[in-house]
Amino acid sequence: MDHFIIELSKGFRVPRKKIPLGLGDEIETSYEELKKRLAETSASARDQEKVLERYFPKEYAAELEWKRGQRDKERWATMFGNPSNDGGQVRVRGAQAELLRMADRFGGDIASPRTSYRVTDFSDWLYRLQGVYPDPFVKALGALSEKEVEKKRMERRRRLMRLSLGAKDGWNLWYSGIEKEKPEAFEISLLKVAGCAMRGVPDYVFYNEASRTVVILEIKCTDAKLRLDGWANLRGQLWMYGHIDPIMNWGQRVVLAAEVWDRSGETRRQTLRWIMGEGAFDADNHELFEKWCDCLAV
């Protein structure tokens, strides 16, 4: 008996129902018995779910919500747990040197001078350095997917935050940029181009006042090939967000996190985390930022 059935059966009698088999025959069964019998058949997983939902709608809905809750708890445990074993901590040998080589050869050609600069201008430049030119349609589709994914998860995430990020843990959602049509852009005074400060809009910023720890979370929806160390544009984007003025002022420890979901938003493909100021992460991105500035000045 799985954990859901154990929890479901606590405190009350599990109901039994009569299920018609056709030709006037029927069987009396419970939700868990029907679930086991269906699993032994050749019916697809979706067909099994349809049968369960038809004859035991309340039990099916309760199990579905329980499974979602378990996935979300795992998500938050990954986000706020020990980052030592997370993806993103790996530094792929030669990757930085290759990016710098590409910047020397083509960086000036793909840099786009402007009167003001946003974090996405830098990340787009890094994206192109990797030999990929963003298709405007695909880019817009990805952004739309991210918003739709978050819209679908909104209420569940709010319930989860009340459970997992309550006062006892000290975590609070300080800022959300992905849910707004025209989100506020924060100034980044430490990173300037031609004397003008960069500006950026992170997806989510969580803050723990007791530990003065900040977690900046970026959501990506894509079916692109994954990298152990994350894509250069993703690393650069989060690195810049880590320099946002309010975060620099009150965050003693800044964790940069990214969740990569598939295009449908149903499957979390990868979680990446970095700590600001640790390892080569800061030095690599700062070197690329200076190279970008040089290319813009040409």
When mean pLDDT is compared across 82-86, 175-179, 249-253, 257-261, the lowest value belongs to: 82-86
- Domain of 116? 87-297
Tell me the mean pLDDT in the region 257-277. Answer: 84
79 domain residue, yes or no: no
With bands split at pLDDT 50, 70 and 90, how would you rate the model's confidence at 147? low
Residue 146 sits in the same domain as residue 246 = yes
Residue 169 sits in the same domain as residue 216 = yes
What was the pLDDT predicted at 243? Answer: 96
Q: What is the pLDDT of residues 194-212, one digit of tens each?
A: 899 999 999 889 888 888 8
* More confidently predicted of 284 and 69: 284
What was the pLDDT predicted at 95? Answer: 85
Residue 96 sits in the same domain as residue 69 = no
Highest mean pLDDT out of 80-89, 168-177, 219-228: 219-228
80 domain residue, yes or no: no
pLDDT score of 11 more than 50: no
Residue that has been written with the tokens 């029927």 in this structure: 26
Check: CB of residue 142 under 8 Å from CB of residue 220. Answer: yes
For residue 274, CA distances in Å to 90, 222, 242 come to 10, 20, 10
Residue 41 sits in the same domain as residue 144 = no
Residue 57 sits in the same domain as residue 97 = no
What was the pLDDT predicted at 238? Answer: 97
226 domain residue, yes or no: yes
Residue 69 sits in the same domain as residue 103 = no
260 domain residue, yes or no: yes
Residue 114 sits in the same domain as residue 65 = no
Q: Whole-number mean pLDDT of the chain?
A: 78
Amino acid at 257: A
Q: What is the pLDDT of residues 60-86, one digit of tens each?
A: 988 888 887 777 777 777 776 654 444
* More confidently predicted of 220 and 264: 220
Give the predicted TM-score (pTM) of the model: 0.71
The residue out of 74, 108, 137 marking a domain boundary is 74
Residue 170 to residue 164: CA distance in whole angstroms: 10
Amino acid at 284: D
128 domain residue, yes or no: yes
Q: Give the number of other CB atoms < 10 A from CB of residue 70.
A: 12
Using CB atoms within 10 A of its CB, is residue 162 exposed (0-12), middle (13-18) or buried (19+)? Answer: exposed
The residue out of 45, 74, 103 marking a domain boundary is 74
Residue 253 sits in the same domain as residue 105 = yes
pLDDT score of 1 more than 80: no
What was the pLDDT predicted at 123? Answer: 94
Residue 204 to residue 80: CA distance in whole angstroms: 14
Tell me the mean pLDDT in the region 248-267. Answer: 83
Percentage of the chain surpassing pLDDT 70? 74
With bands split at pLDDT 50, 70 and 90, how would you rate the model's confidence at 227? confident
Tell me the mean pLDDT in the region 114-137. Answer: 79
What was the pLDDT predicted at 5? Answer: 47
Residue 281 to residue 229: CA distance in whole angstroms: 10
> What residues contact 126, with CB distance under 8 A and at least 6 apart?
99, 231, 232, 233, 235, 236, 288, 292
